[in-house]
Amino acid sequence: MTPTKTPAADGLTHKAPAPREAKAPRSAPAAALARRRGRRETLAGYLFLTPWCIGILLLTLGPMLVSLYLAFTDYNLFDSPKWVGLRNFREMFRDDRWWTSVDVTVKYVLIGTPLKLLFALGVALLLVKPRKGQGFYRSAFYAPSLIGASVSIGVVWRSIFQDDAIVDKSMSLFGWDVGGWIGDPDWMLPTLISLTVWQFGAPMVIFLAGLKQVPRELYEAAEMDGAGRWRRFRSITLPMISPVLFFNLLLEIIHSFQIFTSAVVIGGTGGSGAGGPADSLLVYTWYLYEQGFRQMRMGYASAMAWMLMLGIGLVTVVLFKTQRGWVHYEEDTR
C-alpha cells in the first residue's frame, strides 16, 4: 500500500527550497535554537500522544497492575479484595475444569494453527502466478477471515454440522458416518477447528505478499540446474518466505489462544455454565469468563489470565529462540 502521489504532494515538493539552516556551522545561538526546537518537538510529540498515553495508563498498564494484584486475592466485585497469597494458583492446579480448559485450548492451537497455515500456504502457492481473476480469488478466499469470528457464522457452523446436515451427509458418501458432530463431545473440537481453518484467508494474503518478494532469477537459475518442483519449493520458496511463515505462526498462535466467541456459540449450552457438551469446548477464555463474570470469582479469574499471559509469553520466547534454526533473513544469506 504505497501512497499514491497526489498533485498536492507534488506541488509541495517542488516548492521546497533546500533548507539552508541545516548546513550552517553550529554557532552558540544555533545550538540554543536547535535545543529549543528539540524541546518544541518533544512537546508536540506528547501533545499528539495525549489520548494514547491516557489510554495506555488508564486502560492497559493500570489494569495490568490491578489484575496482577487481584490474582493474589479473593474478590467478588462487591466486598474489598482479600489477600490470599498463592492460593488461586495452587487451586488452579487442582481444578479439573481448569485442566480441561488448558487441554481443549492447547489441542485447538496445536492442531488448528498448523492446519490453517498449511492451507493458507497451499492456496497462496496456487494463487501466486499472475492470472486472470487472481484478484477476485484472493478477495473471495479472504472473506471468511472477516466474518469467521462472528456469532452469525457460529450459528451457521452449528447448523451445517448437525446430524443429517451437509457435512454429515457428505462424509457418509465416503462411508464415514459420524452422525451429528454437534452434541457429540468427541466431535465438538474438530468442528471448532474446522471453523478456524476456514479462516485461512488472512495468513494466505500475507503469504502471497511474501511469495511475490521472492526473486524470479532464483527459480530460473534452479530450473537451469535441473531442480524439480519440490526441490525448488524446499530450497528456494520455503527459506525465502520463512520470515513470513514465522510472523504468521506467531500471530496465529497468539490469536488462537484467545478463542472465545466461536466456542461459546458452537458449544451453545445456554445458562447451564457447561463449556459445550461434557465441557468439550471449554476453551480457556470461556472458563475464565465463567469464573470471573458468572461465579464472580474475579481473583481466581485474574490469576487465570496471568497464567494465560505466561503461557503465551513462554510460547513467544520459545518461537523466537527456535527462529535461528529455521528462519532465514536476507542478511544471513551471505
Partner 1 sequence: MSALSGTARRRMRSLGWHVGALALLAVILYPVVWVIGASFKPGDKIVGSLQLLPTDPITDNYRRLSEGIADIPLTSFFYNSLIIAVGSVVGVLFSCSLAAYAFARVRFAGRNLLFSVMIATLLLPFQVLIIPQYVLFQKLDWINTFVPLLLGKYLAVDAFFVFLLMQFMRNLPKELDEAARIDGCGHLRIYWNIVLPLCRPALITSAIFSFIWSWNDFIGPLLYLNTQDKYTVSLALKMFIDQDTVADYGGMVAMSLVALAPVLLFFLAFQRYLVEGAATSGLKG
| Cα-Cα-Cα-Cα dihedral sign, residues 57, 60, 61, 64 | positive
Considering the complex, state which of residue 221 and residue 233 has its C-beta at the smaller distance from partner 1. Answer: 233
- Going from the C-alpha of 252 to that of each of 203, 255, 308, the distances in angstroms are 8, 5, 15
What whole-number distance in Å separates Cα of residue 295 and Cα of residue 35?
57
Nearest distance in Å: CB 162, partner 1: 5
Cβ(196)–Cβ(217) below 8 Å? no
| 328 lines the binding site for partner 1 (CB under 8 A) | no
Nearest distance in Å: CB 237, partner 1: 18
What whole-number distance in Å separates Cα of residue 284 and Cα of residue 95?
13
**Span 12-41, contacts to partner 1 by CB under 8 A:** 12-13, 15-17, 19, 38, 41
**Span 147-206, contacts to partner 1 by CB under 8 A:** 147-153, 155-160, 162-166, 169, 198-199, 201-202, 205-206
Among the listed residues 293, 320, 326, 329, the single contact to partner 1 using CB under 8 A: 293
**Span 34-73, contacts to partner 1 by CB under 8 A:** 38, 41-46, 48-52, 54-56, 58-60, 62-64, 66-67, 70
Binding pattern for the stretch 303-322 against partner 1, x by CB under 8 A and - elsewhere: -xxx-xx--x---x------
| DSSP states of 79-107 | SPPEE-TTHHHHHHHH-HHHHHHHHHHHH
Considering the complex, state which of residue 100 and residue 158 has its C-beta at the smaller distance from partner 1. Answer: 158
Among the listed residues 260, 274, 277, 328, the single contact to partner 1 using CB under 8 A: 260
| 255 lines the binding site for partner 1 (CB under 8 A) | yes
**Span 268-287, contacts to partner 1 by CB under 8 A:** 268, 270-271, 284-285
Parallel, antiparallel or unpaired: strands 73-74 and 82-83: antiparallel
117 phi, psi to nearest 5 deg? -70, -35
| 302 lines the binding site for partner 1 (CB under 8 A) | yes
Q: Hey, what's the cell of 216?
A: 524470479
Among the listed residues 32, 34, 118, 209, the single contact to partner 1 using CB under 8 A: 209
What whole-number distance in Å separates Cα of residue 98 and Cα of residue 92?
6
Q: Under rule CB under 8 A, how many of the chain's residues touch partner 1?
A: 111
Nearest to 222 by CA among 210, 234, 208: 234
Stretch near partner 1 under the rule CB under 8 A, chosen from 93-101, 146-154, 230-238, 273-281: 146-154
**Span 105-124, contacts to partner 1 by CB under 8 A:** 123
Extended strands (E) in the chain:
73-74, 82-83
What whole-number distance in Å separates Cα of residue 59 and Cα of residue 228?
54
